[in-house]
Structure 1
Amino acid sequence: MKGFNQKYLSEAIRCIESFKAFERNSEINYNDAITKVATTIKDLENNNNSMYFIGNGGSASIASHLALDFWKNANVKAAAFNDSSSLTALGNDIGYDYVFSKPIEMFANNGDMLIAISSSGNSQNILNAVSSARKKGCKIVTLSGFSEENKLKKLGDINFHVPSFSYGMAEVFHTLIIHQILDYKLHEFEKVDIFNMNSKA
């Protein structure tokens, strides 16, 4: 057991030290990517635009969690398209490949932002949603894992990649990356001490 636990933590450290970020298809500094996205989200707030989060399975729970945090804590309009009744209705009526693209076509406006989360980076409903968001004039941020050659990593304005083939690692670090973006916005623009939140408990 000790061998597994040490290996697990070592793999987590390796992942953190190997995060990659891309602006379109060109690799950029990870910290610069965080700053770019957080600054764009501040612009969304100023312009009364919205954020939309999508993901399947564990990534759907990340989408719900962070959408809530962005509107509750960062004063940005945000929503996750993962209501169970909506998903099952759309899946039944038009096919699961379109359960995210359809609401984006209905609700997204030019200048909004889509956060697309996928461990594999190859989920067709996520890829279709990104295509719809692009047509609507949305800014697009992607988070993927597994192979660096996955399809999603090539589709966003800013693309984050976690170099792990473990669902658990990908999901944990996708959460961390989006939280870092949120906390950067709070720290840099709202002057919130995010490293000492005891007063908020």
Structure 2
Amino acid sequence: MDTREVEQYIQEGLEARRLIDVEQVVRIGKVISEAYRKGRKTMFFGNGGSAADSQHIAAEFVGRFEKERKPLPSLALSVNSSSVTAISNDYSYNNVFERQVRAFSVEGDVAVGLSTSGNSTNVVNALRAARTIGCYCVAMTGSKGGKVEEYAHEVIRVGSSRTSIIQEVHIAVGHILSKIVEEDIFGQ
């Protein structure tokens, strides 16, 4: 990779960020804030890099983003290796998040599935279960949307087909949501 290719990569990432639907992200942030005000929680889930992104975003709510405040209840469903491996072994990896959603969620929670393709079966299954329970469902995906669209109330589509760019923008959106929620609940 030479300097020209690096510059192109950076430009592609900047363009994908510029294409974020800002009104949609603010709307989702307000939904999350309202869920927290009602004593509900958020759950994040995805595979591979999206699992890591889910953990990162959930940690911003449980820990803090930019201000000292009380913790907010948020789960990343990829972190419990015993649950992940038991469900995968005894049922199917396709059910690994869906089983946890059924175990942990209640009506009014917010479920956020991250899938760069939008077609990860276990993310689709988890969103389907969450929607059935009465959770507000958000999908974060790439430009094509994918099968998650059928079960999500909101789909944040990143304007790129490159996995790395999509994941970088997912983290940026997670940070923006964290800031919206912190300011909305705890003030500026």
Q: TM-score if structure 2 supplies the norm length?
A: 0.90
CA distance in 2, matches of 1:167, 1:40: 27
CA distance in 2, matches of 1:92, 1:131: 21
Contact kept? 2:30, 2:184, Cα under 8 Å: no
Letter in 2 for 1:165: S
Contact kept? 1:153, 1:161, Cα under 8 Å: no
Structure in which a larger fraction of residues adopt strand: 1
Alignment of 1:42 with 2:33, yes or no, is yes
Over 3 Å off, 4+ runs: none
The size of the alignment, in residue pairs, is: 181
Partner of 1:139: 136
CA distance in 2, matches of 1:174, 1:156: 16
Contact kept? 2:41, 2:110, Cα under 8 Å: yes
Letter in 1 for 2:34: D
- Aligned pairs (5 A) from 1:65-84: 65-73=56-64, 75-82=71-78, 83-84=80-81
Q: TM-score if structure 1 supplies the norm length?
A: 0.85
Give structure 2 stretches of 5+ with no counterpart: none
Contact kept? 2:131, 2:151, Cα under 8 Å: no
Partner of 2:108: 111
Deviates most, 90-99 or 41-50: 41-50
**How much does 1:146 deviate?**
4.6
Letter in 1 for 2:148: L
Alignment of 1:160 with 2:186, yes or no, is no
CA distance in 2, matches of 1:15, 1:43: 28
Alignment of 1:121 with 2:122, yes or no, is no
Which structure has more RCO (C-alpha within 8 Å, separation ≥ 6)?
2
Letter in 2 for 1:18: L
Give structure 1 stretches of 5+ with no counterpart: 20-29, 193-201
